[in-house]
Amino acid sequence: MFRGRSTHTLDSKGRLIIPARFREVLRAGYDDRLIITNLHRCLVAYPFEEWRLIENKTASLSAIDENIKAFLRLFISGAVECPLDRQGRVLIPPSLREYAVLNKEIVLAGMLKNFEIWDKALWDEEINKSRENYPQLSATLAQIGI
């Protein structure tokens, strides 16, 4: 599982070093392919096998529903296969870098079965919102037994 968060640098070619602990998760249970797609204000990276599960579930949804179509347009159509190179880096395509406003400083945040890729300034905004909403978050967690 992908845990923890760390700050990294995006190089001039759009390559990002994946931390050793995340690469170990990939080696232990997956291969070296990531599917990266857009999410609200950030990117999300899935091991290829986890992405296939999402595709299989999504394929059975009704394409008539406008919310489903919107999801497919945003999340599924934005997905790009991004293999790791020998140095443990992933090349993030320009369209995804632009979507997530990725500059030089990047935060990778483990989210168990995937990890998020944030511009550091946007991450700081998002984490501050989460801190402000902590009482509400605590109540939600208590309701589900965590």
| Cα 120 to Cα 102: distance, rounded to the nearest angstrom | 8
Q: Which residue has the tokens 């249970």?
A: 29
How would residue 146 be classed by pLDDT, with cut points 50, 70 and 90?
Answer: confident
pLDDT, tens only, 8-33: 999 999 999 999 999 999 999 999 99
pLDDT, tens only, 56-87: 998 888 778 899 888 889 899 999 999 999 99
Task: Report whether pLDDT(44) > 90.
Answer: yes
What was the pLDDT predicted at 127? 94
Structural domains of the chain in order of their starting residue, each with its CATH number = 5-120 (3.40.1550.20)
- At 143, the amino acid letter reads Q
Mean pLDDT of the region 40-66: 92
Q: Which residue has the tokens 């394409």?
A: 63
Rounded to the nearest 10 degrees, the angle between the axes of helix 134-143 and helix 120-132 is 70
What was the pLDDT predicted at 28? 94
pLDDT, tens only, 94-128: 999 999 999 999 999 999 999 999 999 999 999 99
What was the pLDDT predicted at 133? 85
Cβ contacts of 32 within 8 Å, gap of 6 or more: 26, 83, 84
Task: Report whether pLDDT(140) > 90.
Answer: no
What was the pLDDT predicted at 145? 87
| Cα 100 to Cα 116: distance, rounded to the nearest angstrom | 11
pTM over 0.85? The answer is yes
| Cα 5 to Cα 36: distance, rounded to the nearest angstrom | 17
**Sign of the Cα pseudo-torsion (23, 120, 91, 70, in order):** positive
| Cα 1 to Cα 29: distance, rounded to the nearest angstrom | 9
DSSP per position, 9-29: EB-TTSEEEPPHHHHHHHHHH
- At 43, the amino acid letter reads L
